[in-house]
A and B are shown apart, each in its own frame.
Chain A
Amino acid sequence: MGLKTAALKKSIWVFHVACSPCNNCDIEILDLLTPRFDIERFGIVLVGSPRHADALLITGVANRHVTPRLIETYRATSKPCVCFLFGACASGGTFFKGGYNVPKPVDEIILEEDPNAIIVYIPGCPPKPEAMIAGVVKALSVL
């Protein structure tokens, strides 16, 4: 493990991509910043621009309008980067799957853009903040 990877593991900057979620997942994400969970102690920080990010936190199903924006955001992120599919919607599509406005599941969209993308699924509706932390730990172990 080089110095670069070691540093990356200690400092993951996250950009939150809301692909039309129902907003419940987003609230759970904000919980991570509160004193109870405080993910800054692991060096995880929410940033405002995809260019600064090491991880994209994708919530919701990508509908027809959002899909091109999601691809743009993925391209704008500087590599290496990890995609967290947060919530049942993003990981599997749940009951929105096959809907007229949902062309493809999120993971297929990203794999089409970059076949080597690292994707982590965090199921739950919405997932608990602990699940998110567990997902980050798993992602870090494969880096």
Chain B
Amino acid sequence: MLVFNYLVFPGLLFATVAGLLTWWFDRKVTARVQYRVGPPWYQCFADVVKLLGKEVVLPENARRTGFLLAPITAVAASALVAAMLGVYNMNYGTGFVGDIIVFWYLLAIPSIMLILGGAASGNPLASVGSAREIKLLLSYELPFIIVLTMAILKAGTLSLGGIIEYQVGHGPILYSLSGVLGFIVALICVQAKLGLVPFDIPEAETELGGGVIYDYSGAALGAFKLSKGILFYTLPIFLITVFWGGIKIGDGWGILWAVLKYVLIIALITLIRNTNPRLRIDQAMRFFWGKLTLLAIIAFILSAIGI
């Protein structure tokens, strides 16, 4: 059952399909915004299958083990998050004390693997990208952990299952002033975690030509794309679970309601992506450690006094 959960239903396979469709949705909406037609629905599947079937070029001065292990680890970690979230939302009782910290760690692993892979490839552009990814990771994790702490404080429990149960009883965390502020902060952090414009600083197609993934080719690049696709599905679901009452699979309208929430979050992400230019890394750090952290602290204080 565990293996099935990990590999097929809420885990790897399901998350891949859902995530790649979401990614296509994002690309299609972007194309429509720019008055283009945009790619067909199977585009992201074609991309990933093609990449998995291509030759992997090993750069001459790359560290082979690290270079090849990084993408696989990224996929494994993101699939694990997807599986755990799915199982928690299907039966609320599961979970253990402190699992939200495990989630926090697992969600950071794909970024860390990008850093390691970029550094292991021995390419100057990729190492610049790695340095930027480290700075970006450090900057968005601070507000992200503060808003997670806010949710923990509100629910009075350290387990994600507990947070869902609290929301079933008391209504979603989002429906309060502190919840709204926290949700906005978390949404912008998710944008940075996905590496989308305006926070695609480490990849920066136009200046670094791919940045951290510059030297990846073929199947290894495909694995990184796959992990990004899975995160495209996982991170919005994580937001829904922590702030918006989770997915009520049990009752009839629950699924439809959850899909609506999901589409709304994706639409917000796409909107942010299409209306902002890329920031410089110092601007991004100032934004996350300054304004966003301040907002997160305000949300935290408001939730502490019960607003």
Selected from B43, B47, B210, the residue in CB contact (under 8 A) with A49 is B210
> B14-22, B174-182, B216-224, B284-292: which lies at the A interface?
B216-224
Q: Flag if A10 contacts B46 (CB, 8 Å).
A: yes
**A contact residues around B45 at 8 Å (CB):** 7
Alpha-carbon gap, A10 to B43, bound state (A): 7
Q: Hey, what's the 0/1 contact readout for B17-59 against A, CB within 8 Å counting as 1? A: 0000000000100010011111110110111011001111100
Q: Flag if B210 contacts A43 (CB, 8 Å).
A: no
**B contact residues around A3 at 8 Å (CB):** 49, 53
Number of interface residues of A (CB under 8 A): 23
How many A-B residue pairs have C-beta atoms within 8 angstroms? Tell me.
Answer: 86
Q: Flag if B209 contacts A35 (CB, 8 Å).
A: no
Query: A28 contacts the other chain (Cβ, under 8 Å)?
Result: no
Alpha-carbon gap, A128 to B37, bound state (A): 20
Q: A22-56: which have CB < 8 Å to B?
A: 35, 38, 40-41, 43, 47-49, 51-52, 54
Query: B243 contacts the other chain (Cβ, under 8 Å)?
Result: no
Asked, given contacts A48-B205, A49-B210, whether A78 binds B36 with beta carbons under 8 Å apart, the answer is: no
Q: Flag if B217 contacts A10 (CB, 8 Å).
A: no
Q: Chain B nearest CB: distance from A42 CB in Å?
A: 8
Q: Flag if A48 contacts B50 (CB, 8 Å).
A: no
Query: A138 contacts the other chain (Cβ, under 8 Å)?
Result: no
Query: B133 contacts the other chain (Cβ, under 8 Å)?
Result: no
Number of interface residues of B (CB under 8 A): 33
Query: B214 contacts the other chain (Cβ, under 8 Å)?
Result: yes
Q: Hey, what's the 0/1 contact readout for A4-22 against B, CB within 8 Å counting as 1? A: 1011101100000000000
Q: Hey, what's the 0/1 contact readout for A78-96 against B, CB within 8 Å counting as 1? A: 1110000000000000000
Q: Flag if A11 contacts B46 (CB, 8 Å).
A: yes
Q: Flag if A7 contacts B50 (CB, 8 Å).
A: yes
Q: Flag if B46 contacts A78 (CB, 8 Å).
A: no
Q: Flag if B215 contacts A48 (CB, 8 Å).
A: no
Q: Hey, what's the 0/1 contact readout for B49-93 against A, CB within 8 Å counting as 1? A: 110011111000000000000000000000000000000000000
**A contact residues around B217 at 8 Å (CB):** 51-52, 78
Selected from B40, B49, B54, B214, the residue in CB contact (under 8 A) with A41 is B40
Query: B206 contacts the other chain (Cβ, under 8 Å)?
Result: yes
Q: Flag if B49 contacts A43 (CB, 8 Å).
A: no
Q: Flag if A51 contacts B39 (CB, 8 Å).
A: no
Name the CB-closest residue of B to A75: B57
Asked, given contacts A10-B43, A51-B215, A78-B57, whether A35 binds B205 with beta carbons under 8 Å apart, the answer is: no
Query: A76 contacts the other chain (Cβ, under 8 Å)?
Result: yes
Alpha-carbon gap, A78 to B209, bound state (A): 16
Alpha-carbon gap, A70 to B225, bound state (A): 28
Alpha-carbon gap, A78 to B55, bound state (A): 6
Asked, given contacts A11-B43, A54-B50, whether A48 binds B208 with beta carbons under 8 Å apart, the answer is: yes
Selected from A4, A48, A54, A78, the residue in CB contact (under 8 A) with B49 is A4
Q: Chain A nearest CB: distance from B215 CB in Å?
A: 6
Q: Chain B nearest CB: distance from A46 CB in Å?
A: 8
Alpha-carbon gap, A10 to B51, bound state (A): 12
Alpha-carbon gap, A54 to B46, bound state (A): 13
Other 20 A-B pairs with CB < 8 A, given A35-B35, A40-B36, A43-B47:
A4-B50, A4-B53, A7-B46, A7-B47, A10-B46, A11-B46, A41-B38, A47-B210, A48-B206, A48-B209, A48-B214, A49-B209, A49-B213, A49-B214, A52-B221, A54-B54, A77-B57, A78-B54, A78-B55, A80-B54
Q: Shortest 3 CB-CB distances between A and B: which pairs?
A: A48-B209, A4-B53, A10-B46
12 A-B residue pairings within 8 Å (CB atoms): A6-B46, A7-B46, A11-B47, A40-B27, A40-B36, A43-B40, A43-B43, A47-B210, A48-B205, A54-B54, A78-B54, A78-B55
Interface of A toward B, CB cutoff 8 Å:
3-4, 6-8, 10-11, 35, 38, 40-41, 43, 47-49, 51-52, 54, 76-80
